[in-house]
Amino acid sequence: MSTKEEMVLIYKYKIEKQHSKNKYHAIERIQMLVDQGTFREISRAMSDYSHCSCGNGQAVPYDGVITGRGKIRGKTVYIYSQDFTVKGGTIGRRHGEKIARIIKIAIETKCPVIGIYDSGGARIDEGINALAGCGDMMHQNTLASGLIPQFSVTVGPCAGAAAYSPAITDFAFMVQHISYMFITGAEVVKNATGEICTNQELGGATIHNETSGCVHRVFHNEKDLFKALRNLVEMLPANCFDENITKNKFVQKSYVSDDCMPNDPQKPYDLKSVIDIIADDNSFFEIWDAFAASIVVGFAKVSGITVGIVANQPLELGGAITIDSSDKAARFIRFCDCFNIPIVTLVDTPGYLPGIGQEHSGIIRHGAKLLFAYSESTVPKITAVLRKAYGGAYIAMGSKHLGADYVYALPTAQIAVMGAQGAVPIYYKEELSKVSDTEEKQALLKEKLEEYKKNFMNADVALKEGFVDELIELCDLRQRIFEDIIALKSKTINTSGKKKHGNIPL
């Protein structure tokens, strides 16, 4: 086959074939993602083995993956986009090599990398070479981790060994109804275990968004996804050396209301209303918005400075910390620490969620990840106790004991070992046991509840011990966070020469 014939194959994209499935083509996805006219393809003539003696003589155009670079609002990014119209987007040796090569270039140039997945998995007819291609991809994904942000977009199938590649990246997005991701498909599951399900029931967008936590956000269509991804890429540093904290000037919000939180610590409210007070208007980008909802995590701007927010959500389990929410927050904290993004923690939690299921599933091990992540992080860390912080959850949620730089509390905040309802029957057990009359016991219990709240459920001792720096009104929190971040701009912690790395309880 001549070079001219090969070039014709390269550029004859089967766009209508994708449109018939209500999906965009690989090249269209790239065009939606990057600034107009900025995409430059790399290794476009790189194909499979058809040109050599081991091939079958039939070329696979660009080996089913388009790779190159472009710009997102002026920021250079590297991209690989799998083409399902070419051998089902399956990964052969050259396909994997092209992806690995583009990630390697992104590492060397310290630019973010975005993978667009639409693939049936490893290419069966290439045997071990296909697995080698998958392994090359995952190796480069791992080398890139913590150095440059990595984004994955699944807009079709992502099956088999290839599914581990987006799992290694920092952020994974899917589209309802057209995306699914699994190690083995529904047919294999049926043959192996007898379980009957559809591909969507097994590994569709909703499952990964709400149950498995393998995906960070799900969108109704591809256009909305790429629009959101552009916003996120713009918001985050290009690499771990980027200066995130600039000489911004504080901008007060035109209207701040303090009445978004009920005074009753048992009454739920939407924590995102507090985030709205702190963050620049419309700047909050939530991560894992439907998974482990008792903790909210995401990025926001505070007078133009990107911060990572970790917050208990009283609307879900009263803000209790669970196995999944521990994993969710720990992973997010570690990303922020990798890329020098200050961490703002908003605390309103009754503790770790009690129960046999949580204990048997390893709440101790998973909960420890959250403590480890906070303790290990070296970025500026600012914490505010909003209403309550009890027990081990007080420690875990960015306390001074785990290295927070500044900790504030609202004037009515409660910091205690336990809530009054759980603590009083234990603490005053002897006194309560001496009263046999039911009415008298109820009266004494009520008295002791008030006594406990007065003596133990406040921030007074924490203030005196220096565990809380200051009581502060909610309306003043945004400015204080901004001023603290600017003051902590030059914060350094010398960890060189101490050890290779810590061993987080995975």
Those residues with Cβ within 8 angstroms of residue 72's Cβ, 6 or more apart along the chain or in another chain:
33, 34, 35, 230, 233, 234
Hey, what are 162's tokens?
A: 């290839």
Distance CA 246, CA 249 (A): 9
Q: Which domain holds residue 440?
A: 420-456
Determine the distance from the C-alpha atom of residue 151 to the mean position of all C-alpha atoms in its chain, rounded to a whole number: 11
Do 111 and 173 belong together in one domain?
A: yes
For the chain of 506 residues, list the mean pLDDT of each consecutive stretch of 10: 41 84 93 96 76 55 93 98 93 94 98 96 90 95 98 95 93 96 92 94 96 97 97 97 82 76 87 96 97 98 96 97 98 97 97 96 96 96 96 96 97 87 82 80 82 83 93 95 94 76 90
Do 86 and 155 belong together in one domain?
A: yes
- The three-state DSSP-derived secondary structure of 120-175 is CCECHHHCHHHHHHHHHHHHHHHHHCCCCCEEEEEEEEEEHHHHHHHHHCCEEEEE
Do 155 and 14 belong together in one domain?
A: yes
Please report which residue ranges of 284-362 form alpha helices under DSSP H: 323-338, 356-360
Q: Residue 227 corresponds to which amino acid?
A: K
CB 27 within 8 A of CB 65: no
| Assigned domain for 250 exists | no
Q: What is the CATH number of the domain that holds 305?
A: 3.90.226.10
Do 191 and 290 belong together in one domain?
A: no
| Assigned domain for 426 exists | yes
Number of C-beta neighbours around residue 131 at 10 A: 17
Q: Cα dihedral angle (131, 133, 136, 140), rounded to 10 degrees?
A: -120
Do 86 and 220 belong together in one domain?
A: yes
Do 200 and 291 belong together in one domain?
A: no
| Assigned domain for 252 exists | no
Sign of CA dihedral 47, 51, 52, 56: positive
- pLDDT value at position 274? 96
Distance CA 285, CA 268 (A): 22
| Assigned domain for 322 exists | yes
**Domain tally, the chain:** 3
Do 436 and 471 belong together in one domain?
A: no
Do 358 and 303 belong together in one domain?
A: yes
Per-residue CA distances from 67 to 76, 79, 231, 337 (Å) = 14, 6, 22, 29
Hey, what are 373's tokens?
A: 């992540």
Q: No. of H helices and E strands in the chain?
A: 20, 16
Do 480 and 447 belong together in one domain?
A: no
Hey, what are 439's tokens?
A: 């009415």
| Assigned domain for 506 exists | no
Q: What is the DSSP string of 366-421?
A: HHHHHHHHHHH--S-EEEEEEEEEEHHHHHHTT-GGGT-SEEEE-TT-EEESS-HH
Do 39 and 140 belong together in one domain?
A: yes
| Assigned domain for 195 exists | yes
Determine the distance from the C-alpha atom of residue 358 to the mean position of all C-alpha atoms in its chain, rounded to a whole number: 22
Burial class (CB in 10 A: 0-12, 13-18, 19+), 160: buried
What number of residues does the chain have? Answer: 506
Residues forming beta bridges with residue 285, ordered by sequence position:
299
| Assigned domain for 256 exists | no
Do 302 and 192 belong together in one domain?
A: no
CB 73 within 8 A of CB 41: no
> Angle between the 93-109 and 128-144 helix axes, to the nearest 10 degrees?
10
| Assigned domain for 248 exists | no
- pLDDT value at position 4? 40
Do 341 and 441 belong together in one domain?
A: no
